[in-house]
Structure 1
Amino acid sequence: MALAGLYRRILPSPPAIEFSSSEGKQLFSEALQSGTMEGFFKLISYFQTQSEPAYCGLASLSVVLNALAIDPGRKWKGPWRWFDESMLDCCEPLEKVKAKGITFAKVACLAECAGAQVESFRSNKSSIDDFRRHIMNCTASEDCHIIASYHRAAFKQTGTGHFSPIGGYHAGRDMALILDVARFKYPPHWVPLSLLWEAMDTIDEATGHHRGFMLISRLQRAPSLLYTLSCRHESWVRTAKYLIEDVPVLLKSDDIKSVQDILTVLFTSLPTNIGEFVKWVAEVRRQEEGGSKLSEEEKARLAVKEEVLKEVHETELYKCVTEWLSSPSSCCRKVSSLHDKDSLPEIAASVCCQGAELLTGMHGTAGGFCCSATCVKCLKGDGDPPKTVVSGMVTSGGGEQGFDMLVPMSQTKLGSDCGCGPSCIGMHPASNDVLTALLLALPPHTWSSIKEEKLLAKIQGLVSTENLPPILQEEVLQLRWQLNFLKKCQDNKVDDDVY
């Protein structure tokens, strides 16, 4: 005999009013006339049900990011770029979220990493009047949305902590529309704003911090184009600490007399696998999409990446780093490990595996993919300059899948060990590119501990972002933000801040 299972819950009403009820429809109509349902249509166009019982935070964020038309910059399935819960794993492993849910701070982290602008407010650092003001502003606009973190008990609903977007506001009755992403449990419903505030003004037992709400909108600046920092890499905590805390201490040394001395001190003390911490972003395409020509969109994205790489090469700091790497001082084990990963076949295999993870929704799975038989191809047509594609065959669980990787063109010559002949041009950010970008991204105060004034002025001139071209400047500032955020995570201060 079949056992009975759970099919939805009866929405406790009052205090909630079901959206599709006669009263709910009336509230919607009146709020629409008042202009506080403007954001609803974007949200409902991209609304989804959480795919796991503990994925309410991920589902809420996916809805909002897609409603804001933020490009994830990487592919979801096939050729399509689209935010899905499976892609929101950079701040917390999906398996952990699936088992325990996600905290308020980590949802804010995910939104930032995804390229959104986030303002987060815990209930003990805000007020109901502030919340009402924010909800009125956001619901009257398509450019900003609110995700609320609250406890269901205030609404007499089953369950505990939950996340959902706010879809609208009725000023006359001071009620908010909750677009509950757990649609298998409760439908969208109106609740008194005062009761929603009470539900948010509770303590999350997992962190000991208050719940609250966050405002999510589009960034006015561009997200990372070519470089990013990996908070999923096993050494990111140690690396972030080294760059923010240890580097200023090392620079106090009396032995530092030149820029090359600075680079020697910093690079010979690098944490292991620094190259894994600083990632470069490549485009990955499934081979079965077919065709030998790139779309205009793909060519435009690749051109921007190439421009960033070119601008890095044109900095004086890049020349200093390149000079140091060619000197005997660079023969230490940690910098050599960077060189070892600069061969094109290794990079191609690594990025094709990453692409396979992204496209199959298995991003972050350790050892799940293996790549072999990488090769280099050039695509061109209709008079366009040639574009380079590195291909690889990825195997996982007995199956095989071909992936293509679009790569920006570097002007650095590679040796015959690149796997494609002695005349091959470097087609990826190498050690000097990555280290230059990382030095530029360090906080300005990093260098203030240098004792010799002339040397301090010289290094400050080399790392200054003020005179960088706009695209590279945006890239560096984005990297700097990521590094600062990772340091907050390392200090467990994310939950103590406004997050």
Structure 2
Amino acid sequence: MELQQLFLEAIQNGTMEGFFKLISYFQTQSEPAYCGLASLSMVLNALSIDPGRKWKGPWRWFDESMLDCCEPLEKVKAKGISFGKVVCLAQCAGAKVEAFRSNLSTIDDFRKHVMACTASDDCHLISSYHRGLFKQTGSGHFSPIGGYHAEKDMALILDVARFKYPPHWVPLPLLWEAMNTIDEATGLHRGFVLVSKLHRAPALLYTLSCKHESWVSISKHLMDDLPVLLSSENVKDIKDVLSTLLSNLPPNFAEFIKWVAEVRRQEENGQKLSEEEKGRLAIKVRYLKKFSKLKGKKKA
């Protein structure tokens, strides 16, 4: 009864706004070490962020199995995931991310962010904490914060390990203490992550996707091969840089270009485009075709 009273009072005070979006996508982590992945997929879906690819059938939906761009899933399954890798995954998924480790923040800052996020449905907070301080079984854990009771100074944890614990209210100072601990795997402090939707202005050129397998070889080329190539060439100005870059593209570069986000969206009939976007996209595709023909002539 007391828990229900806390819930009702928090609603009346306007610090449960984020709860209703989160609870619609509340999920149980599918593996014992997937708390970070489950928390993040829950928050990304609550924010209606497009994963940029299909989950199953025609549906675009974040699932734990899709959050693999920063850490192999087998490794996460075996050892869990660090605070930094969760931040990396959120950024890779296209969210706006603000990360705060406890040693670089304060409890007052944390309380301010909890109040702001729980009073809004376009920002969600994921906490990284040690269960031991709650006298719970287990050690490091991730879960979203679903609400805040200002008078009692308590936060509502939507625990993604629902096979162990239901959603529960925790005194915010105790939660801060649980976050202000060291992750033995990394030697770094835990903390909290603010996740919101990233609003971008329409791109003039292309927005490239890093989810295609060709990105691995392209990134290696850009980070490892190209710097060596530029240092060995007689590069004097930007024209020389561009000439060297375009004349030494890897063989699968055309395949990578095909995975341009807006072109792929059109191919999948994923979203409706405005007339302005259609016009801009037509120009992009036209220049892409010219580039492909130019690349073909150089090969010949």
TM-score (norm 1): 0.52
Question: Could you say which residue in structure 2 is the equivalent of 1:241?
Answer: 223
Distance 1:206 1:309 in 2: 49
**1:311 is matched with which residue: 268, 284, 291?**
284
Q: Which residue of 1 aligns with 2:45?
A: 66
Partner of 1:139: 118
SS in 2 for 1:92: coil
**Cα distance change on mapping 1:164 and 1:45 into 2, 3 Å:** same
Match of 2:230 among 250, 256, 261: 250
Distance 1:37 1:323, change over 3 A: closer
Considering fraction of residues, name the structure with more helix.
2
CA contact (8 A) 2:254 2:292 kept: no
Aligned to 1:95: 74
Query: What count of residue pairs does the alignment treat as equivalent?
Result: 294
Kindly indicate whether the alpha-carbon contact (under 8 Å) linking 2:15 and 2:119 is maintained by their aligned counterparts in 1.
yes
1:162 partner letter? H
**Amino acid of the structure 1 residue aligned with 2:210:** L
Cα 1:280–1:116 shift into 2, 3 Å: same
Greater Rg, structure 1 or structure 2?
1
What is the alpha-carbon distance in structure 1 between the residues aligned to residue 62 and residue 279 of structure 2?
25
Gaps of 5+ in 2: none
1:105 counterpart = 2:84: yes
Please name the residue that 1:227 is paired with. 208
Gap change, CA 1:204 and 1:273, over 3 Å in 2: farther
2:180 to 201, 219, 243: 201
AA in 2 matched with 1:166:
I
Local SS of the residue matching 2:209: strand
Residue in 2 that maps onto 1:265: 244
Q: Is the 8 A contact 1:227 1:280 kept in 2?
A: yes
Describe the SS at the equivalent of 1:166.
strand
Q: Is 1:152 aligned to residue 131 of structure 2? A: yes
1:263 offset after TM fit, Å? 3.7
Q: What are the residue-to-residue correspondences of 1:69-468 with 2, within 5 Å?
A: 69-221=48-200, 227-230=208-211, 233-235=215-217, 238-242=220-224, 246=227, 250=230, 254=234, 256=236, 259=239, 261-270=240-249, 273-274=252-253, 279-281=259-261, 282=264, 298=271, 300=273, 304=277, 307-308=280-281, 310-311=283-284, 313=286, 325=295, 330-331=298-299
Tell me: CA distance 1:223–1:75, structure 2 relative to 1, closer, same or farther (3 Å). farther
| Structure-2 separation of matches of 1:212 and 1:163 | 10
Query: What secondary structure, in the 3-state scheme, does the structure 2 residue paired with 1:147 have?
Result: strand
Matched, 1:36 2:15: yes
Q: CA deviation at 1:139?
A: 0.6
1:51 aligns with 2:30: yes
Gaps of 5+ in 1: 1-21, 286-293, 337-499
User: What amino acid is the match of 1:310?
Assistant: I
Matched-pair contact (CA < 8 Å) for 1:56–1:162: yes
**Residues 1:280 and 1:156: Cα distance change in structure 2 (over 3 Å):** same
> How far is 1:70 from its partner?
1.7
Identity %: 62
| CA distance 1:147–1:219, change in 2 (3 Å) | same
CA separation of 1:255 and 1:84: change in aligned 2, threshold 3 A: closer
CA shift, 1:269, in A, is: 4.8
Alpha-carbon distance, 1:222 to partner: 6.1
